[in-house]
């Protein structure tokens, strides 16, 4: 399948509400992170080589910015019937392998992916303290087939700006990855 770029949703757009089950049994909602000065919502999967390439870096950035008060959630919205490597069991293995310290949520209905206009895995969005979209784009320039560090340079710069109360300078480079594995009839292109 061809690589897919993230949609570039309009900055300032409010974060859509969600309540989703987490790998491990808890339920997490947007309201649970209301007090954080910034929120990272990322759409990931276990099987995608673009995610696999940067997953340890994602774990490191998540832990580092958690210590700065940033809330982070990962969401897997893929169709697990056709992509069983993205089942909750395998997501738990990925979280352990990559050192994720943030909730990994399962969007079985794919309604949250549609609400956030997620297009690919990985896909990253950052919201400010008022839960207005401040950044949408790549984690960094690391991709399968290159040797660039998976250090989250682009996401870090965005988070640093948001935490400083400044706008994230544009242009934002879209994320690139495997397209969301939509269930029949759920793709935004079919709506």
For 29-65, write each residue's pLDDT tens digit.
999 998 999 999 999 999 999 999 999 999 999 999 9
Distance CA 23, CA 27 (A): 9
For 126-160, write each residue's pLDDT tens digit.
999 999 999 999 999 999 989 999 999 999 999 99
Could you tell me the pLDDT band of residue 184, with boundaries at 50, 70 and 90?
confident
Neighbours of 132 (CB within 10 A): 13
Q: Are strands 176-179 and 71-76 parallel, antiparallel or unpaired?
A: unpaired
Question: Among all chains, which residue has been given the structure tokens 């400010």?
Answer: 128
End-to-end CA distance of the chain: give it in Å, rounded. 21
β-strand partners of 29: 19
Prediction pTM value? 0.94
């Amino acid at each position: 399948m061809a690589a897919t770029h993230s949609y570039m949703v309009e900055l300032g757009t409010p974060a859509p509400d969600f309540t989703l089950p987490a790998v491990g049994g808890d339920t997490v909602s947007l309201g649970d992170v209301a007090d954080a000065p910034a929120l990272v919502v990322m759409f990931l999967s276990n099987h995608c080589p673009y995610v696999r390439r940067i997953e340890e870096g994602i774990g490191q950035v998540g832990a580092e910015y958690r210590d700065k008060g940033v809330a982070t959630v990962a969401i897997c919205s893929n169709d697990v019937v056709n992509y069983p490597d993205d089942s909750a069991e395998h997501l738990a293995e990925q979280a352990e392998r990559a050192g994720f310290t943030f909730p990994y949520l399962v969007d079985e209905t794919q309604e949250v992916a549609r609400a956030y206009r997620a297009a690919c895995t990985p896909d990253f969005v950052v919201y400010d303290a008022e839960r207005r979209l401040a950044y949408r784009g790549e984690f960094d320039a690391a991709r399968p087939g290159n040797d660039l560090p998976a250090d989250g340079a682009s996401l870090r710069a965005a988070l640093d700006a948001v935490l400083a109360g400044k706008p994230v300078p544009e242009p934002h480079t879209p994320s690139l990855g495997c397209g969301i594995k939509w269930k029949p009839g759920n793709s935004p292109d079919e709506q």
